Chain A
Amino acid sequence: MANVTIKVEDLSKRYRLGRRERYVALRDVLARTATLPVRMLTRRSQADAQADYLWALKDVCLEVKHGEILGMVGRNGAGKTTLLKVLTKITKPTSGRARLWGRVGSLLEVGTGFHPELTGRENIFMSGSILGMSKAEIKSKFDEIVDFAGVEKFLDTPAKHYSSGMYTRLGFAVAAHLETEILLVDEVLAVGDLEFQKKCLGKMKEVSQGGRTVVLVSHQMNQIRRLCDSVLWMDQGQIRRKGPTAEVVGAYEAAFSSSQTAGRAAQSDPSIKARFLSWEILEPHSGQPHLLTTLGPFTVKFTVEVNRPIRMGVHGIEINDSAGQRLWGNAAYNLTIEPGIHDLVHRIGPLPLKPGPYSWRVTLFDEYERLDMWDCMPELMVGTKPQSHPYDQWAGFLNVASVLSIHEDAAAGAAQSITH
């Protein structure tokens, strides 16, 4: 137990839908109270009563270990933010309980506690204090914060004259210097310009290396893959899945990909001339036969059952992304295959695809006659370490390492200097 930092037991949070209206007037309450006897007589059905409530969290059990970076994924309204709000004590749960070991810091919004009339300097103290830092702590971190945000020149300017970029940078800079043992972060890292985003991610890395526990909500799968050790998938207020990052993020992405083929066994039919039965990655062996963990060459095996001799066989293979776009394809011709069960083994690679779900499509023809075509299930999950940009929209399709070096152009003189 000493290793657990956050422990959540059967946590539930129920919202009354009527309560979430922006404005509740006393007259409505009086009216409700006045009509109560009538409504008791008419006895609304159980279903009606149920419809007034929304379970934002339902029986959530969870353990987060010390030093773990837990990513949280899920659609909007899945309960991610509600879980953070309950853990930070912003709101109380309806039932269940949780215990957190260590000081808790949270970042649910950038620029918490900022006041437009206060100067940058004053806002650093205000925001830092609201986020839970002591005055002495803020003082000792002050220069670092200013440096991180890059607002030295505007320290004594009221925040209302700041550009939105400056505002955001300063807001994040304050929160980034929180030194709590536990840090709960809602989707706030997707703000600011590219350079600053990268800085923020670097800061999160530092935070994690300090042995602190981080729970991070993000819709950027590439970011989650880079930062998180494990991932929690929330769905309709419940935990759909929790486990290692590659596995859960893969499953999450696969749930949104379109290809859903019925099981091969169900199609059993003696009149079928040939059919693919299964596939798996042989080398390197990762323990999970459908998870690709190497950026180097690998070997993949497709097992096929052949019920008649093939003389002019053609075997095709392709890789498609989750949207169905063909990324690679090849074929072998003039194959001779006797009836029986065969393993078609391909040595492929390297395959520098961005981590995520993909699918194989394998085909078997006899001359022009199609014997079988299979969009392989389960899907191919690429779980390599991301090397491209942390934001999905910039990352592209490939996972390629790159190195930049800056050279001085002797002919043009030393007029240009590039700073980073």
Chain B
Amino acid sequence: MAANEYVLGSDVPGSFNQTDPPVSMPTSDINPPGKWFDLDLPEIWQSRELLYFFVWRDLKVRYKQTAIGVGWVVIQPLLTMMVFSLVFGRLAKMPTGGLPYPLFFYSALLPWTYFASALTAATQTIIEHERLVTKVYFPRLLLPLSAVLSGLVDAAVSFIILIGMALYYHIVPRPTTLLLPVFLLLAVATALGAGLWLSALNAVYRDVRHAIPFLIQFWLFVSPVAYPSTLIPAKWRWLYGLNPMAGVIDGFRWALTGHGQAPTGLLLTSIGTIAVLVAGGLMYFKSMEGTIADRI
């Protein structure tokens, strides 16, 4: 008694049904690299779910197989703060305009740590995703974008500690505190702008990878993290703003503590620099995007 009959191999016929194409379909055009860059914002907007998934994966994977996990986000800056407080606060007696040195330092360390790790992550991102970049298409911009965005979660954890410290030192919230997100946003823009340049460069010239630790160390010294920007002579301070992180950090510190005057001149220069950095970064990244899979 036969149960079922199977015609061997017959489940893969060569025939197929021809149906009419749908009336309206999205079309995609493929052209050689053009002279003018097209940011294609709609495409990036359409890929927002993928951006979310990239960030989500980064967070999932980042602290896997670590004993204390997110604890590193707390421990690293706290230890750094202690060392700097000892050296610059106690020994060098750095002027802080009346702020306790630990709070003075930590309120700059937060945007700086975010910036440094976001920039490093963004620089590496194209190379890290080499297989993906050479095997499937998606807007490449999502990679540096997700790298700088996923760093914000660490910054949020850091921020809770900062609030605790502010309360400890009796710094009460004031209207300017509401500006903190704005300055953090400027830090994101700076990391993205520089990250766009460096990630595309790094894909083609691996030298960038070796230069980046040095670049970040150097950048730290020219930013008002361990010292106040008032150390720079007042008439040159606007020029100091050419370092975009100078404006970001000064602004962040001012918004939190409300100490002294708003760093207007410095900040305006920094915002201008950030705008140029991001616009140039986008143009450079876009010009590389079309052929980056061949050159990586």
Contacts and interface: CB of A to CB of B under 8 A. Distances in A.
A227 B28 contact: no
B14 A227 contact: yes
A66 B17 CA distance: 11
A375 B137 CA distance: 50
A117 B14 contact: no
Interface in A400-414: 401-408
Contact of A408 (B3, B10, B13): B3
B53 interface: yes
B284 to A, nearest CB: 16
A245 B15 CA distance: 12
A29 B16 CA distance: 53
A96 to B, nearest CB: 7
Interface residues of A, number: 83
Contacts of B61: 115, 117-118
B17 A92 contact: no
Interface stretch (B18-26, B163-171, B192-200): B18-26
A401 B290 CA distance: 49
A135 B49 contact: yes
Interface string A11-31: 100010001100111110100
B16 A229 contact: yes
B49 A90 contact: no
B136 A108 contact: yes
A278 interface: no
A108 B135 contact: yes
Contacts of A29: 205
B12 A202 contact: yes
Contact of B31 (A91, A93, A108, A122): A93
A95 interface: yes
B35 interface: no
Interface in B147-186: none
A284 interface: no
Nearest to A4: B21
B38 interface: no
Nearest to A245: B14
B190 to A, nearest CB: 24
Interface string B81-116: 000000000000000000000000000000000000
Given A69-B16, A226-B12, A88 B206 contact: no
B265 interface: no
Given A19-B295, A90-B136, A101-B25, A402 B8 contact: yes
Interface residues of B, number: 55
Nearest to A89: B137
A212 B15 CA distance: 13
Contacts of B137: 88-90, 106
Given A85-B293, A92-B32, A118-B61, A404 B5 contact: yes
A67 interface: yes
A77 to B, nearest CB: 15
B34 to A, nearest CB: 9
Contacts of B50: 129-130
A17 B1 CA distance: 66
Contacts of B2: 405-407
Interface stretch (A265-273, A309-317, A323-331, A386-394): A386-394
Contact of B26 (A88, A102, A407): A102
B286 to A, nearest CB: 12
Contact of B132 (A19, A100, A130): A130
Contacts of B17: 67, 209, 211
Contacts of A401: 7-8, 10
A201 interface: yes
A93 B16 contact: no
Contact of B6 (A20, A126, A405): A405
A25 B293 contact: no
6 contacts: A87-B30, A98-B29, A101-B21, A108-B135, A211-B21, A403-B6
Interface of B: 1-14, 16-22, 25-33, 49-50, 53, 57, 60-61, 64-65, 131-138, 204-207, 290-291, 293-295
Interface of A: 2-3, 5, 11, 15, 19-20, 23-27, 29, 66-67, 69, 85-104, 106, 108-109, 112-113, 115, 117-118, 122, 125-126, 129-132, 134-135, 181, 198, 201-202, 204-205, 208-209, 211, 225-229, 245, 385-390, 401-408, 420
Across the A-B interface, the 9 shortest Cβ-Cβ residue pairs: A211-B19, A92-B290, A405-B2, A98-B30, A208-B16, A66-B21, A89-B137, A109-B135, A26-B207
